[in-house]
Amino acid sequence: MSEGKSRSGDAPKGDETHPDIPPYDAPTESFGVVGDSLSEPTSEADRLSDNVTADVEGTDATESSVHEASTTDSVANDSAATELVESAGTTDAVESDSSTSPPQQTPVADESPTVAQPVVPEQPVVPEQPVVAEQPESPAEPPSIPPGDGSAQIDGAGVAPPWRKIAIGTGAVFAVFALLYAADWFTSSDRVPRGVTVAGIDVGGKAHSDAEATLRSELGPRAEQPVQVDVGDRQVDVLPAAAGLGVDWNATLDRAGSQPINPITRLTSFFGSREIGVVSTTDEQALTVAIDGLRAETDRAPVEGDVVFDGVTPVAVAPLEGRVLDADGTRRNLQTEWASGATEVVYESTPVSVTQDAVDRAFAEIAVPAVAAPVIIAGRENVDATLPTDRVGEILRFDPDGQGGLTPIYDTDVAAGILAPQLVRTEVPPKDASFTFSGGAPTVVPGVSGELVEWRKTLEQLPALLSADGPRTAEAIYEPAPPALTTEAAQNLGVREVIAEYTTGGFEYASGVNIGLTAQIVNGALVKPKETFSLNGYTGPRGTAQGFVESGIIDNGRPDRAVGGGISQFATTLYNASYFAGMEDTDHTEHSYYISRYPEAREATVFEGAIDLKFTNPNDTGVVIESFADSSSVTVRLWGTKTVDVESITGSRTNPTSPNTVTLPAGAGCVASGGGLGFTASDTKVISDAASGRELSRNTRTVKYDPIPIVKCVQPDRPDPSPAPRPDPAPEPEPDE
C-alpha cells in the first residue's frame, strides 16, 4: 500500500499493528450477519472468512469464496489482505470490529505464502437486501487529498466514480462552446446580427456599409414600383415615390440592433430569420393626397338589403356594409409595408341589419307575385279602376324590421291616387255651404252631402290581392260624404257686416277684361278664422284657356304686354280692402315704379308663379270676399264681424331719382314711355280697437320706387332723333300691370 493510503497506530516502524480504519477511498460500511446463532469470530482467519464477500454483478451466485488463513499465523500485512480480497472478487475492504477484540499484532509472513483453502462456514440466513453494519466509533475521517498529478481520485478498488467522468465531459463541452462563442463574437461583433431581413432582403451577417449597399440596390428601386393596396374588394396601385414615401437607410439598419450577448440567441440565429421592416421617410402632404385618393375607392354608404322595382321587374338589392377609411391607420400601413409590395387600407365598417336570406325571401314570396297580374277595383255603373303591374313599385316597398328581415309596406294613399281618378265619375261630390250677395247682403247657401269611394276600406284588401293566385278583383266601397263646410257651420261664422271696402279705376279695356274675370272667380271666397288666403292659389292658372287676354305689364322695369296683364290692379284693390279690414299682411310686393292711381306704399302687384298676394284672417270669425267690376272700376268688400278700426298715414316723398332713356326698335315689342321720377315713400298702419278706440298696433312700411324709364321706339332705317327738352315730368304711362 502506498503512502497516504494507510493509517496505523503509534507502534514503531516494522511492528505496525493492523490498521484500525480502512483506507480513505475504501467504503466504511460492511455487511453484518443476520441471526443470533453466528458466533463472534475469534481469529483473523475467521473474520476474513465471515466478513469478506464477493459481489458478482449480473449473476445469481449467492456464495462467497474466502481464502482460508492459517489459524496460527495472521495475515502478514495489509497488502496480503488486499490481495486476498481481490482474489475473492470483491472491492470492499474488511474492517475489524475493534470493539469486541483487542488489537492483534501483525504476524510475519512466511517466505513462501501458504495457499489459502476455502472454508465454508455455517451459512446464516441472509436477507434479500444487505444490512449495513453499524459503524464503529472512530476519529473523524480527515479530508481526502486529491493526487498531486491532477488525475481523478479513485476509490479503494482503483476506479473513478461516474459523476467525475460526467463532470469532466461536461466541462470539456462547455470549454469548447466557450471557445466557439468567443470566436463567433470576435468575427461578427461589428456586423448586422445574423438572420435579419428588411422587406425580405437578407442583410444578416453583413457589415453595415455592405448591408446599406445591398438595401439601396435591391430596395431603392421599389419606391418607383406600384404597391398593391387592398381597399376591401379590389386592389388599387399606389406609387410610393408619388405618395412621398422613401427609405431612411440608417434608421432601418439601426432597427437590427447590436450583436446579441445571449449565447442561445446567437445559436438560434443560425437557423431562423427576423424581419425588421423599413423605416420610411415621408412627405406628409403627398401622402395625404394619396390617402384621399384611396378614400374615394374605399368609402361607401351602407346599403340595406332591399327589393325594388324597375317597371314590372322586381330587383333584389344585396345588403352591403358601409365603409369609412381610417386615415391614421392607413398612413401607418403605407409607411411600414409599402416596401413589401402590398398592403391594405384600414377602415371602419358600418353594419347593416337586413340579411341576404331576408332579401331572397321577400323577393321570391312577395315581390315576384305582386307583379304577376294587375289589380282591378270594380266601381258603380260598370266602371273599373285598374292598378297596372308597372305601377306596383309605386305602392309596395320593403322596410327593415330590426331583426334582420324585411316588412312589406303598402302605400294605400298612392294606390288611391292611381285608382280614384278612374272612378271619380261614379261618385257624387259633396257641396260646401257658401255665400251669395243677392239683395245687398251675404246669404248662406246650404251645403249638400255626397257619396264617395272610401279608399281606406277598399284598399284593405290590397296585400291579399297582390299575392292572389286567381282573379285580383275587389268591389269599391262607397260611403256618404258630408260637406267640409256645413250649413250650420257657415251660419255660425259671424259673416254679417262689411268690415272693409276699396275701389280703384282708370284701367284700359284689355286690363278691364282680366280684372272683371278675376273678380268673378274671387267673389264669394271664404277665409276661415286663422286661415291664409292666396290670390294666385285661389284663381289658379290665368291663361287664354281660362279666358284671360293680353294686356300691359311691367317687365324688367319697363312697360310690356302679356296675357293676364292688369290683374295687379285687382291685387291692389284686394290688398287695400284687407288692409283696412285689419287682416295680417302675409306676403305682398309693390310695383317696381309708382303708378299714380294707386296709393303710395300701399299697393301690390302679382305675377303667376312668381309674385303673390297673401293675407291671414286673425279673427275668430270668418271673412267672405265680395268682388265685382265694370268697365271703369273694380270694388272689393270684406264681410265679417268688425272688431278693429284701421288708419293709414302716408309719409312724404324723399330721395328723388331721374329716369334713364331706353331706345328700342319700333314694333309690337316696344311701348313708348315719357318716363317719370323715382322716389322713396312710406305708409304707417295704425290699428285700434273698434269698441274702445285703444290703439293696438302701429307699423310703418317704406318703399323705394324706381324712376320710370324714357322709352323711345325707333325705326331701324332712321337715325335716332334728338330728344326734345322737356322740363316737366312725363305723364303717367297708359299700360297697367
Across 74-96, average pLDDT? 40
Q: Give residue 507's pLDDT.
A: 92
Note the pTM of the prediction, 2 decimals: 0.50
Q: Give residue 490's pLDDT.
A: 96
In sequence order, the 6+-apart residues with CB closer than 8 A to the CB of 384 are: 376, 377, 378, 422
> In this structure, what C-alpha cell is assigned to residue 439?
239683395
- 420 and 512 part of one domain: no
Q: Give residue 163's pLDDT.
A: 82
Q: pLDDT tens digits, residue range 370-405? A: 999 999 999 999 999 999 999 999 999 999 999 999
- 437 and 479 part of one domain: yes
- 14 and 133 part of one domain: yes
Environment class of 518 (CB within 10 Å of its CB; exposed 0-12, middle 13-18, buried 19+): buried
Across 500-506, average pLDDT? 96
Q: pLDDT tens digits, residue range 249-293? A: 888 878 776 566 567 666 666 666 777 778 888 899 999 999 999
> Does residue 312 or residue 2 have the better pLDDT?
312
- 169 and 91 part of one domain: no
Q: Give residue 230's pLDDT.
A: 94
- 173 and 287 part of one domain: yes
The answer to whether position 186 is within a domain reads: yes
Residue 372 phi/psi, 5-degree rounding, is: -75, -30
Report the percentage of the chain scoring pLDDT > 70. Answer: 71
Q: pLDDT tens digits, residue range 437-448? A: 877 788 999 999
> Does residue 593 or residue 581 have the better pLDDT?
581
The answer to whether position 494 is within a domain reads: no
- 676 and 528 part of one domain: yes
Question: Residue 327: how many CA atoms within 13 Å on its side-chain side?
Answer: 10
pLDDT at 168 over 60: yes
Q: Give residue 736's pLDDT.
A: 46
> Does residue 476 or residue 156 have the better pLDDT?
476
> Does residue 671 or residue 65 have the better pLDDT?
671
pLDDT at 81 over 80: no
Q: Is the dihedral of CA 305, 310, 314, 315 positive or negative?
A: negative
The answer to whether position 146 is within a domain reads: no
Q: Give residue 218's pLDDT.
A: 80
Q: pLDDT tens digits, residue range 121-162? A: 455 544 454 444 444 454 555 555 555 454 545 555 566 688
- 459 and 527 part of one domain: no
- 400 and 480 part of one domain: yes
Q: pLDDT tens digits, residue range 550-567? A: 887 777 666 678 888 889
The answer to whether position 214 is within a domain reads: yes
Average pLDDT, the chain: 79
Out of 489, 510, 545, a domain closes at 489
Q: In what order do the strands lie in the sheet with 633-640?
A: 497-505, 633-640, 623-629, 526-527
- 473 and 543 part of one domain: no
Total structural domains within the chain = 4
Q: Give residue 85's pLDDT.
A: 36
- 667 and 707 part of one domain: yes
The answer to whether position 730 is within a domain reads: no
Across 361-368, average pLDDT? 97
Q: Give residue 39's pLDDT.
A: 42
Q: Lowest-pLDDT range, 60-64, 192-196, 303-307, 672-676?
A: 60-64
The answer to whether position 158 is within a domain reads: no
The answer to whether position 221 is within a domain reads: yes
* Rounded-to-integer distance, Cα 63 and Cα 377, Å: 124
* Top mean-pLDDT range of 13-27, 50-64, 193-207, 348-362: 348-362
* Top mean-pLDDT range of 152-166, 190-204, 497-511: 497-511
Q: Which of 289, 290, 281, 288 is nearest to 220 (CA)?
A: 281
Domain that holds residue 454: 363-489
Q: What is the CATH number of the domain that holds 420?
A: 3.10.20
> Does residue 618 or residue 57 have the better pLDDT?
618
Q: pLDDT tens digits, residue range 588-645? A: 999 998 999 999 999 999 998 899 999 999 999 999 999 999 999 999 999 999 999 9
Out of 445, 468, 489, a domain closes at 489
Out of 489, 509, 527, a domain closes at 489
Under a CB-based contact definition with an 8 Å cutoff, are residues 638 and 625 in contact? Answer: yes
Under a CB-based contact definition with an 8 Å cutoff, are residues 449 and 405 in contact? Answer: no
The answer to whether position 188 is within a domain reads: yes
- 544 and 692 part of one domain: yes
> Does residue 386 or residue 83 have the better pLDDT?
386
- 473 and 386 part of one domain: yes
